[in-house]
A and B are shown apart, each in its own frame.
Chain A
Amino acid sequence: MSSCEDQPSRIDLYLDGELRDEELEAFNNHIKECSSCRRELKERRRFLEQVRAAGPLYTPSTEFRAEMSALLAAPVNSTTGTPQYRPAVSVAKHRAPFWLLWLFSRPVPALIACVLAVAGIMTLWTFSLTQAHANAFVDAAVEAHRRQMAGVLPLEVRSNSAAQTSAWFATRVPFHFRLPASQETEGQEQKYELTGGRLVDFRGTKAAYVAYHIHAQLISLLVTSNSTSVASGGEKTISRAITFHTHRRGDLQVMTWSVHNLTYALVSGVNLPARQSCGVCHASVKDKELLRDFRSLNSRTQIAAKSVVLSDHDVWHVIAFR
């Protein structure tokens, strides 16, 4: 053992008490002669002493010590060979909930489960929020309609011109205002009359309220940006790629739809199932017969729709009034 190259491992063995007889003697002889290895030995010993002084790493609690003491003192069942001991308090009380342990013990499935759970919660939350905003918009439209009927919501612009009304709203609402385009469709017999409009508040922003009359019946239209509310909920009717949502609020029917980044809510006294309630305010020529029927009716009489032809995807459908 004259070479210092072997000594580092020998030093560890020496410090761990693993050198025996000749090996120990040879090591002691080498250390006496080699100052470098003596220095190394001193340094390693000091390091290990410091490490050992840092112990114990963990200490059992007093309660657990008492439990184990009782366990070891318990008599052993001669038949089963197990101690007749029942812990006063199960150590399992400290155990984390199983689901938490499962999550930690299987990180990849747990991560996937967590991502899916978060995605699900986010979807539900978004859906709930969308639904809440949609309902709020329906309620706002109904409120405006009732106040207009009660005469406590005076119109700020009075005009039967769609162009003038649109121009009035253009600079007053924080979105690109657009009346349902079907009004300007040529060849249609207009069965309603635009009365005017005004601004109303909805969720802290300005919304456009537009009033129409058809045979002395008020029809209200509330328009807002689809960033404020998106049509949702109610009974769905799809026509020309637009989904109409029909809601009931007491004796009023509200139809909402979203198109061109806008959301509309049309309030009327229609009292028919959504799929049958489609009368065309500005019906096409094909609907003349239907409109004749409608015209001949008393405004409080309920009729059933015979047929529906949608002339435009922004069309409003009003078949019957009570």
Chain B
Amino acid sequence: MSRVGTNTSDHSATEQVFRETALQHLNGLYSYAMTLARNRAEAEDLVQETYLRAMSAFERLRPESNLKSWLFTILRNIYLNQLRDGLSKSRVVAMDEPAARPREFEDESSKDPFFVYLTKAKQADIKDAIERLPQAYREVIVLREFEDLSYEEIAQILDCPCGTVMSRLSRARERLKQMLQHWRVVTSETAHEAGE
């Protein structure tokens, strides 16, 4: 977890750390922005606005603060403000968003074309299932599974108790599991054939 501002006297060093660390979170911020806005242009605007505000305010960030969850919190607040002001177009379904490149399967089994095919198909299905989750569930899944944030960090971003995060995440996972029920059969069969 990246933390900044440990030494307020060393302003330029802190600034440098901030600049470098903030860019490392671009993928996560963009992914979260897309999760909220579901529109590429709006997601890009959200990320850009997040960085602009963070650059103006990072000096006020407390030394013990977590930069990543702080950035995510800023982004979410911008989004909520836009939503409140009627400026968000989050109901617009993104039609121009190219599918993110699937992560290459790094297992030995990847040499088996059928296994590779199954893996890619499954990943596509998982993405599709996450996309179809209600926003509250989608949000916790993205923050937990892809951004690896703790319950406490997620609770801070969502401005809710840890218990809420826990129960929401549990329900989101259950829903996801139900949506991907058909894969359990294929996976078992494949695993069986693979001699598992």
Distance between Cα atoms of A92 and B46 in the complex (Å): 11
State whether A57 and B55 are in contact (beta carbons under 8 Å apart), knowing that A18-B151, A73-B19 are contacts in the complex: no
- Contact present for A60 and B26 (CB under 8 Å): yes
- Contact present for B89 and A57 (CB under 8 Å): no
Contacts of B173 in A (CB 8 A): 12, 47-48
- Contact present for A57 and B92 (CB under 8 Å): no
Binds B, one of A76-84, A126-134, A140-148, A238-246: A76-84
Q: Which of A1-55 touch B at CB < 8 Å? A: 9, 12-13, 16-18, 47-48, 50-55
The interface residues of chain A, by DSSP majority, are classed as helix
Q: Is B117's beta carbon under 8 Å from chain A?
A: no
Q: Is B177's beta carbon under 8 Å from chain A?
A: yes
Closest B residue to A65 by CB, please name it. Answer: B26
Contact of A53 among B31, B90, B103, B144 (CB under 8 A): B103
Contacts of B114 in A (CB 8 A): none
**What is the distance, in angstroms, from A69's C-beta to the closest C-beta of chain B?**
6
Q: Is A260's beta carbon under 8 Å from chain B?
A: no
Distance between Cα atoms of A64 and B27 in the complex (Å): 11
Q: Which of A92-133 touch B at CB < 8 Å? A: 92-96, 100-101, 104-105, 107
- Contact present for A55 and B92 (CB under 8 Å): no
Q: How many A-B contacts are there with CB distance less than 8 Å?
A: 141
State whether A69 and B41 are in contact (beta carbons under 8 Å apart), knowing that A50-B122, A82-B56 are contacts in the complex: no
Binds A, one of B1-9, B73-81, B94-102: B94-102
Per-residue CB contact flags for chain B residues 66-89 toward chain A (1 = under 8 Å, else 0) read 000000000000000000001011
Q: Number of B residues contacting the other chain (C-beta, 8 Å)?
A: 58
- Contact present for B45 and A52 (CB under 8 Å): no
Per-residue CB contact flags for chain B residues 26-56 toward chain A (1 = under 8 Å, else 0) read 1100110011000111111101100110011
Distance between Cα atoms of A107 and B92 in the complex (Å): 10
Distance between Cα atoms of A189 and B176 in the complex (Å): 91
Contacts of B23 in A (CB 8 A): 68-69, 72
Distance between Cα atoms of A106 and B50 in the complex (Å): 26
Distance between Cα atoms of A69 and B47 in the complex (Å): 12
State whether A57 and B41 are in contact (beta carbons under 8 Å apart), knowing that A72-B23, A91-B48, A104-B89 are contacts in the complex: no
Contacts of A101 in B (CB 8 A): 89, 92
Q: Which of B149-177 touch A at CB < 8 Å? A: 150-151, 166, 169-170, 173, 176-177
Closest B residue to A103 by CB, please name it. Answer: B92
Contact of A16 among B27, B144, B177 (CB under 8 A): B144
Q: Number of A residues contacting the other chain (C-beta, 8 Å)?
A: 44
Q: Is A171's beta carbon under 8 Å from chain B?
A: no
State whether A91 and B169 are in contact (beta carbons under 8 Å apart), knowing that A57-B100, A73-B19, A96-B92 are contacts in the complex: no
Q: Is A87's beta carbon under 8 Å from chain B?
A: yes
- Contact present for A76 and B100 (CB under 8 Å): no
- Contact present for A52 and B27 (CB under 8 Å): no
- Between B35, B55, B97, B170, the greatest number of chain A beta carbons within 10 A of the residue's beta carbon is seen for B55
**What is the distance, in angstroms, from A19's C-beta to the closest C-beta of chain B?**
11
Contacts of B124 in A (CB 8 A): 54
Q: Is B192's beta carbon under 8 Å from chain A?
A: no
Contact of B123 among A47, A54, A72 (CB under 8 A): A54
- Contact present for A60 and B51 (CB under 8 Å): no
Give me 18 other A-B pairs in contact (C-beta within 8 A), A18-B166, A67-B48 excluded. A13-B166, A16-B151, A16-B169, A51-B126, A52-B146, A53-B123, A56-B27, A57-B127, A58-B30, A58-B34, A68-B47, A71-B51, A71-B55, A72-B51, A76-B15, A92-B45, A94-B40, A94-B96
Could you name 26 residue pairs across A and B whose Cβ atoms are closer than 8 Å? Answer: A12-B169, A12-B173, A17-B150, A18-B150, A18-B151, A48-B145, A51-B126, A52-B146, A54-B123, A54-B130, A55-B31, A56-B100, A58-B100, A60-B44, A68-B23, A68-B47, A68-B51, A72-B19, A76-B56, A81-B55, A91-B44, A94-B41, A96-B39, A101-B92, A104-B91, A105-B92
